[in-house]
A and B are shown apart, each in its own frame.
Chain A
Amino acid sequence: MKAGGVLAGAVVVLLLAAAAFYAFAWRSEIDPVDPTAQARFDPALVKRGADLAAIGNCNVCHTAPGGEPFAGGLGIPTPFGTIYSTNITPDPETGIGRWSEAAFVRAMREGVNREGQHLYPAFPYDHYTNVSDEDDKAIYAYLMTRKAVAASPPPNELDFPFNWRVLLAGWKALYFREGPLQPDPGRPEEWNRGRYLVEGLSHCGACHTPRNRLGAEKKDELFAGAEVENWTVYPINGNSPAPVPWDVESLTFYLRHGWHELHGASRGSMSPVTANLGSVPEADARAIATYVADVMGRPSQERVARGEAALAAARKESEAPLAIRANAGSGGMGEAIFLSACQGCHDGRRPVPFGGLNLHLSSAVNAPNAQNIINVVLFGLPAAKGEPSAIMPAYHGVLKEDQLVALLDYMRERFSDKPAWTDTRERVAATMSGTREVPIYRMDGATQAPPETSMRTTPWP
């Protein structure tokens, strides 16, 4: 009798809890609007929205390779399964053509779609929540004036219970803080603008901050670096691996051009980011650079000195490339490969972006693992379409596993002061076999052309 009563009580409690949770999680549907009755948008607002959407990199996730811009369909791998981006063209049936401005702002601010469903944070509303209403309106104006495309993404491939959207309310309760961001009155305007963009539209932390087991950014490790789609995303805090420390000038240039003579070329999923930033006003890129430089912090004297030494070493090699050969011989197979297959472009005689970076200046060589170098060596840097750009050939098929491992070990030893990598062989084997799938992006061009809508490309081999 008593056990039955306890059981019944437990069930009631559970039901009440579920009901309470459901009530907590519920969001209203916002009425659809008639697309043809939409107000005409002020061209200046649309232009501002275009710039903001570029800063927000909307095109990168919301365009499938070979697909129409913003029509969705890109599969985004997560630890919980694959999520497909939605169609955000103004198509009334398959896009957001029936969304009112209010519905759009809510989606950005709260992570809820027009119908009231919670959105997966693969759509980084944990950042977009920081975007002001005014900017949301501009982005709305921009999206509503795009070409409407009738296209439905494939259904998400999420395992139970992740396919229950309602549970996202719990995730939000734990990890989501609604914006918008308030400026810090004690800081200069440019820094605030940078913070507003970085924490908001640019959503840098979405890649540059590591995530916990439920996929939320770790607030105590902001900008500490991560691994995304088998590319190493570098720390952009005080642990930046760049030999020559970044500053506002170099960051601004890099973000707008996709390369910097002392740092190399942006690649992997950073390629479309710099390509997008190349098409927005410089002031925005400079603001972002200002904030990020501050996050990185002023480099110590010691770090500055090391950077100067690295630069001096690079310069020396570029002026007398043959001297390296003369001093070589002790580095074994790795050295022999480097001298014969890499040195020709990477001695620094020809400056970035058309020459290879002298690796004394390489962040990749100082990264926690060799993955980025593995990716670039195996798959190369495919040319931008119709624009001057960095090009690097693919060495997949040229190097066998042992040879690539030897090369990587040599590079770490020669160009970095850090201890040897420990997982190189596993990464090489997994990348060569395809177990580690690496998305390849076309290079950002050396001129500031708006990026191809989808810069993902077929790996050469």
Chain B
Amino acid sequence: MAERVSVGQAAPVFELTDVQGNAVRLSDYRGERHVLLVFTRGFM
């Protein structure tokens, strides 16, 4: 199993494509906004 990240550490970087087709990187928000990352179970 992947190791959980924890409070105080630098957030792992990532880039994903959103539902609109835009490439979004976590770093796009650096210095601009706090980011809530919500990992879902999936749609039931």
Instruction: Please say whether chains A and B are actual partners in one complex.
Output: no
Residues of B within 8 A of A (CB): none
